[in-house]
Structure 1
Amino acid sequence: MTHFTLRAGSCVGCALLSAALLSASCGDSESQPPGPDPLEVPEGCNPLASDVDCLLPFPSDFYRTEGDDGVRVRISDAAMPRFEDVPIDVTAAHPLDGYSVGTPIIASFGEPIDDASFVFWIDDIDRSTTPESQTTVIDAETGEAVPHFAEIDPRATDLARQALIVRPLVRLAANHRYVVGLHGITRLDGSVIDAPKGFASLRDEGGKAHSSLEAMSAHYEADVFPLLESFGLERTELQLAWDFTTRSEESAAGDMLAIREDMRERLSQAPPTVTVVGVEDAVSEHIARRIELTIEVPLYVSSPDVGATLTASPPIATEMVPVPVTVWIPPSVMNRAPGDPPARLLQFGHGFFGSRYESNDFPSAFADAHGFVVVGADWWGMSEADRNHVAASFVENPATVLAFTDRVHQGMANYIALAAAAKGPIAALPELQIQGAPAYDPATLYFYGISMGQILGQTYFALSPDAERAAFSVGGANLSIMMFRASPFQPFLALLQTQMPDALDHQKFAAIAQLNFDRIDPLTYAPYIFDEPLPGAPPDRGVVMQFGVADSTVPNLGTYFAAKIIGVPLLEGAGEAFPPWLPTTTAPATKAALTPFDFGDEPNYAAAPADANDVHNEVRKLGAAQTQISDFFRPDGVITNTCDGVCDPE
């Protein structure tokens, strides 16, 4: 565990006395070497709170420095979380020029704290932007306070190592500096907690306790303390303050956007080559024909195999590879009468480390009931084929556990290619002809993603040159918000516990891991859906989003956050107007809406529920949910409340 303490007070006193005697006995002090610092700061540690933890507070521009390769975040080995006492840097493969726009902000005071007065995410978030809030985050570029909530880690058993976590409830601006201030934090008995020794010295005496603090003093006096004071915080009451800078869009999304542009250029010249591998008829009640295909896709990673990584930045395609894809035709489409209109085209995104063959089940039933032909591919990087590799890498070489995000970049290229193929050569295949015409209308492509299919699907939808409307179900955004509240992550956290027993280190690991996940997380790509569409994106895009209240698999907070940063308001009348910080809209909505389905389960707002529920899997089965999507998936479709009032299964 990364945990450092000061030496005994007597040693510090000896050092101070020695320095004082040396100064008093010498007539020419300038000719003498400087005395020892009265505060010990272990090498590589942030001096602000090194008596509590080496890394914290995080994120911090203490670790963002200029070098031969420009400005980079360079976290020292001493500050990194450790697996079996080995520092683990999961960001080494992809240099960073700043921190995540969805970063958790973590601090610790080394003793139990009272969170009773914190602004929590179910509260009036506007309170977090006032000087009365115990936690403050200010955009230094604009001077505006950032809406956020604060919490303490409910999983920690050692309350002295319980993280204080501040979570912005907006997507932070890229390449902006933010200033954080904490004040009024109390112990469980109500007494005010002391500031960490390093910060107290910086606040009260210009950092005289250590040379590294003195080096920070000018910056704090010019750029940190004045901003917090002008906001209304008393300098003397600050218990901790620091600043950090978010990364550039290029740093987070550059590789993915380069792949998208290369794919778009290639597809403008010719559609993907399609090869039929096999055809099976009368597969099941809802599958009249299943067609196995391959499409040729440029390869941007080192091989088509699991574990492959990007070999260049920006990525360069080295060859063309066949990618397996599948088409499902339901009986309602296969048996249509002459003159009936063609079916609609649906691209499906599967769940957490699953496969395209999830469409053998629910998606095929949905397609049969509502007249869709379904196309699907595996999410390379987070598919069933990748699962064992990712698990093994966590045990055998933890520093590479997040390398699968490189292969997700290839997965996005595959999905872009599949959409282009479905709108072109796949529609023309003889196996797709019914009554002398294509089985589906290739002019319009709709996307439906469930669970991870929503999470990665939001990123894909932002990138896609072809998908015009999307249905997102029971997913979310921002891994660091979802991880500790989601039941599928609990086995991972249990394994993490065996290698890293300190709960505070778990929070630090998740915060650093988010820097890697930024490269695929929809929080990075959310603006490209509505606010800043990429070149060649379809105009007038639309999104319908659905979730189940108290979902134990993907926490509602992750869904609300996704809706907030994309710009999907809550549909009035379908459920409670909750949370209070999410905008609302009325039906019929032409652009976007979020619909809750309430099965009566009690939500846990702070952690993963002790008992898992089946809410996650039940939403998709509801007739009202299916009808809402089908009605919207038309060129002139709108989003309506298809429930009889509040959406519940009763």
Structure 2
Amino acid sequence: MRRTRLAYALVLATLGAAGCGSDPAPVTPPPAAPNEYSLGGTVSGLEGKGLVLEVALPGDLFSNLAIEANGEFTFKPALEGGDSYEVTVAVQPADPAQSCTVKGGKGVVASADVTGVSVECVRLPADPRWIGGEVSGLKGTGLVLQNNGKDDLSVTMDGAFQFATPQADGETYDVTVSAQPTNPAQTCAIEAGKGTVDGADVKGVLVKCTDDPPVFNVDPSTIDVTNADRCDFLDTAHCLFPWPNDHFTVADPTTSTGRRVALHPLSMPVNAEVDLSPAVNAPAGTIVSPGGIGMDPTDWNRADGFSPGQMLLTYVPGLDLGMTGIGPITHMERSLEADSPLVVIDAETLERHLVWGELDSYATSDATRALIIRAGMNFREGHRYVVALRNLKDSAGQILEASDAFQVYRDAIPSNVPAIEARRDSMEKIFDVLAGAGVERKELYLAWDFTVASANSLAGRMLHIRDDAFEKLGNAAPTFTITQVLQNPDANRSRRIIGTFTVPNYLNQANGVAGASFNYNAPDDGLPDQFDGSGTLQANFICNIPRAALPDGNDATSPVVPGRAALYGHGQQGSASQVNGGAATGELSNTYNFVFCATDFIGMSSGDNENILRLVTEFGRMNTLADRLQQGLLNNLFLARLMIHPQGFISDPAFRGGPQNQPLIDTSDVFYYGISQGGILGGALVAISQDIRRGVLGVTGMNYSLLLDRATGFDQLRVFFDQAYTNEFDRRFVFSSVQMLWDRGETNGYAWHVGNDPLPKTPTHAVLMQNAFADHQVTQWSADVEARTIGAGIHVPVVNPGRSIDTTPYFGIEPIASYPHFGSAVFVWDTGPFDAMQNKGTPPPPVENKPLRDGVDPHGVPRVQPGARLQISEFLRSTGKIIDPCGDMPCLAP
């Protein structure tokens, strides 16, 4: 029954392709003996007809199986334990013509059914060109060739060979040896194995095998793998370099990515004791941050991947960026060029991702100067990426040698070290991705992979507390209490209303005080639970009624024109009281009739100052900032609901006026306007809001791990941070890793959903970004990354010719074609070159990761421009649009 001829297979193929004939009567095999096992697997990608598989069995026996569709297959004859088998393609499918390859088709039957054979089919090019050549000198067995890092071809004898998958004209081919022959051991080398297909089959690849043993420059037994379970021995400069890295994850089928971060406590940075007294002008020793505390990775390990804006880190001794040709922040498009020494590849699409490279300018020596790789647009959620450094050079132009550990994998050096071999398969998968993207293995200095967290991992906690809180609220308005009403507090406002409102508390301390973190009930399902089951907190609010809505707060006969409802987001570690300012909200509200309300953005408000001070010396506390930020976002959502609910603010006399006791707020819609920190956090708020659909983000950016390096505002805290973490590689790791938690409360973790890819149960949104060229506090580079990620159009011309130092100014941000523009947009306001005599203007920002300190900081300029204010008014409407306030010219601020 097992013996079947290939001729019969061809008959099956012909019948299948013709689509006619009748099937032979089924033959019922005899019952399998207890020691017999089935052989099968799955077929994928099949489109054509006539595919026939063949299996070679012991005793020169063969069996064929016609395949008609994708899915599982099983050969008819049963196999006995110990039988060898080899599955091959006897006949390729036609109509359309395809090439099918077999993976995992060769082996010996153990005491179980064989189900892992994989047959993958791809459609052939219209004019297929076959890649092949000659093998000579082959004596051993097990030689496997690959083309472009795939399409495995086993070769058993000298003579002609040809790969199963053809290529099209113009495509490149790269034939390599995937496995060298054994019995006897030989070394086979490729000649003429690379090129471009050009109008004919490739037949000139030569594979020459010799008995000379390969010569390796590295002895794997000398590689220190002592902590390979928690460190990466590819980069010995730091336990957690290269970073981020799937080596620090584990498989987890319950997550959206199939992985989970698994940082080991012993691998995390440990702090030193720091006297914080100078920060509060107290006597020495008054406030001391304890030392010897390692970062607890518990909250990091809740993630199913790394930040979409993660800072990538490694150390390359002697690296010269200019000599190597790595594109800096001003030439990040270099990373997309074919010969770029720095590439980051999407493992799914094989597309190159826009990145730049820079050396840490804060390091005090070259021996501690990390290579930083940053994304010019956020990495895609849930995607796996491969990072590759190749052809790196020192200042003399000499090629830098890869580490011994990496050479073992790159050069396929065999070893008998279990820790090394345990990782070889994952490294080969990395090389496969790079080969598919045209990156040559032999050129590599270092390569590693990492997986980006899913949307569920990034936003899941926030969406959970949002949905839980609003489900409990139902159709009601949040409860609120007014504690003070001020009539006519200034020239722009007729009434200031101050009070508190009630919000469910998901933090682990009563009233969600500073220093609290999320409350997780046992058993911990990874989602926050309301404190004590029904605990609440009291959030503060300040609302200002403009005179445009009510001319005089004391005059009950003043006519009422209800003002547009808008939340205001305050600046760095500020408070709701910043809504009382004149430059940002006062004149704007009175000119265009906005009622602005604000609450403290807890987590990063003035009430969090002490916690933040302690945090920078003990970053294991980072969850106390990130979790309270998310509670702060929820507080803002409740405040927005209060502004538009019929039983909300307008139900109270303080929010009514005029002879007919009219509402002072137009409840038909609610908007958002945030500046600086309010812009950085505001993108997240808009992305998760079910009430707010439009927001203005003033002098904004995202990704604090990028912002802090280039912000003058971190100067004071950096002093204490450096004292706490004296290892300069630790500092880089801390700055990078904290972004994974910060993502949960700032725009970087929500950027892909700010625009047209809304989060679950959330409408689409649009934002207007108003930025300052060469901002000293919120770097323009972070705003550019945000604009690319959210898909914002940019006003052109952006700046005057020669003003930008970019090779391609604002690369990757699409120009706005015409006005009015609908959707998200970014406008850059420029105060002009620095004029020391007049003390105005600013130079472009530095290329390195440091803040701009020269010139006059333009951070506060856009908000006071009449054109910018008009633009805000036109955009923050239910049918809002983007207008051009600059008249087809750059937006210049005198």
TM-score normalised by length of structure 1: 0.89
> Structure 1's 83 and 535: CA in aligned 2 closer, same or farther, altered over 3 A?
closer
Equivalent position of 2:697 in the other structure: 472
Equivalent position of 1:358 in the other structure: 578
The 8 Å contact of residues 182 and 241 in structure 1, kept in 2 or not, is answered as yes
Equivalent position of 2:278 in the other structure: none
TM-score normalised by length of structure 2: 0.65
The 8 Å contact of residues 482 and 498 in structure 2, kept in 1 or not, is answered as yes
1:302-451 matched pairs, under 5 angstroms: 302=508, 303-304=510-511, 305-312=513-520, 313-317=526-530, 318-335=534-551, 341-362=561-582, 363-395=585-617, 397-424=618-645, 425-435=648-658, 436=660, 437-451=662-676
> Structure 1's 414 and 57: CA in aligned 2 closer, same or farther, altered over 3 A?
same
Following superposition, the deviation at residue 247 of structure 1 comes to 2.0
Structure 1: which 5+ runs fail to align? Answer: 1-34
* Alpha-carbon separation, structure 2, partners of 1:57 and 1:148: 16
* Alpha-carbon separation, structure 2, partners of 1:452 and 1:470: 14
> Structure 1's 112 and 78: CA in aligned 2 closer, same or farther, altered over 3 A?
farther
Question: Does 2:499 correspond to 1:256?
Answer: no
> Structure 1's 47 and 526: CA in aligned 2 closer, same or farther, altered over 3 A?
closer
Three-state SS of the structure 2 residue aligned to 1:616 is coil
Alpha-carbon displacement from aligned partner over 1:379-412 (angstroms, at most 9, x marks no partner): 11111101112213444x4421442211111111
> Structure 1's 249 and 535: CA in aligned 2 closer, same or farther, altered over 3 A?
closer
Alpha-carbon displacement from aligned partner over 1:526-556 (angstroms, at most 9, x marks no partner): 23322222355345x3321100000010000
The 8 Å contact of residues 796 and 890 in structure 2, kept in 1 or not, is answered as no
Following superposition, the deviation at residue 634 of structure 1 comes to 2.4
Question: Structure 2: which amino acid aligns with 1:287?
Answer: R
Following superposition, the deviation at residue 376 of structure 1 comes to 0.8
Following superposition, the deviation at residue 199 of structure 1 comes to 0.6
Question: Structure 1: which amino acid aligns with 2:261?
Answer: V
Equivalent position of 1:27 in the other structure: none
* Alpha-carbon separation, structure 1, partners of 2:294 and 2:379: 26
Three-state SS of the structure 2 residue aligned to 1:301 is coil
Question: Structure 1: which amino acid aligns with 2:720?
Answer: L
Higher deviation after alignment, 147-156 or 131-140: 147-156
The 8 Å contact of residues 299 and 623 in structure 2, kept in 1 or not, is answered as no
Following superposition, the deviation at residue 642 of structure 1 comes to 1.3
Equivalent position of 1:43 in the other structure: 227
Following superposition, the deviation at residue 108 of structure 1 comes to 0.9
Look at both structures and tell me which one has the larger radius of gyration over its CA atoms: 2
* Alpha-carbon separation, structure 2, partners of 1:230 and 1:346: 50
Three-state SS of the structure 2 residue aligned to 1:328 is strand
Equivalent position of 2:501 in the other structure: 295
1:198-277 matched pairs, under 5 angstroms: 198-206=405-413, 208=415, 210-221=417-428, 223-277=429-483
* Alpha-carbon separation, structure 1, partners of 2:652 and 2:232: 66
Equivalent position of 1:62 in the other structure: 247
* Alpha-carbon separation, structure 1, partners of 2:319 and 2:677: 36
* Alpha-carbon separation, structure 1, partners of 2:416 and 2:392: 23
The 8 Å contact of residues 73 and 98 in structure 1, kept in 2 or not, is answered as yes
1:12-91 matched pairs, under 5 angstroms: 37-44=221-228, 46-66=231-251, 71-84=259-272, 86=292, 88-89=294-295, 91=297
> Structure 1's 47 and 560: CA in aligned 2 closer, same or farther, altered over 3 A?
closer
> Structure 1's 315 and 401: CA in aligned 2 closer, same or farther, altered over 3 A?
closer
* Alpha-carbon separation, structure 1, partners of 2:874 and 2:322: 45
Three-state SS of the structure 1 residue aligned to 2:589 is helix
The 8 Å contact of residues 122 and 580 in structure 1, kept in 2 or not, is answered as no
Following superposition, the deviation at residue 355 of structure 1 comes to 0.3
Three-state SS of the structure 1 residue aligned to 2:595 is strand
Higher deviation after alignment, 376-385 or 300-309: 300-309
Alpha-carbon displacement from aligned partner over 1:230-255 (angstroms, at most 9, x marks no partner): 32222121100111122222222211
> Structure 1's 298 and 260: CA in aligned 2 closer, same or farther, altered over 3 A?
same
Structure 2: which 5+ runs fail to align? Answer: 1-218, 273-290, 521-525, 801-807, 833-841
Equivalent position of 1:626 in the other structure: 869
The 8 Å contact of residues 47 and 213 in structure 1, kept in 2 or not, is answered as no
Larger strand percent: 2
Higher deviation after alignment, 186-195 or 280-289: 280-289
Higher deviation after alignment, 429-438 or 490-499: 490-499
Equivalent position of 2:390 in the other structure: 183
Equivalent position of 2:92 in the other structure: none
> Structure 1's 270 and 63: CA in aligned 2 closer, same or farther, altered over 3 A?
same
Equivalent position of 1:528 in the other structure: 753
* Alpha-carbon separation, structure 1, partners of 2:640 and 2:305: 34
Larger helix percent: 1
Following superposition, the deviation at residue 210 of structure 1 comes to 4.5
Following superposition, the deviation at residue 77 of structure 1 comes to 4.2
Equivalent position of 1:567 in the other structure: 791
Following superposition, the deviation at residue 198 of structure 1 comes to 1.0
Alpha-carbon displacement from aligned partner over 1:468-517 (angstroms, at most 9, x marks no partner): 21111111112222221111123232222222234332211111111111
Question: What's the Cα RMSD here?
Answer: 2.4
Three-state SS of the structure 2 residue aligned to 1:405 is helix
Question: How many residues get paired?
Answer: 612
Task: Determine what percentage of the aligned residue pairs are the same residue.
Answer: 28
> Structure 1's 51 and 279: CA in aligned 2 closer, same or farther, altered over 3 A?
closer
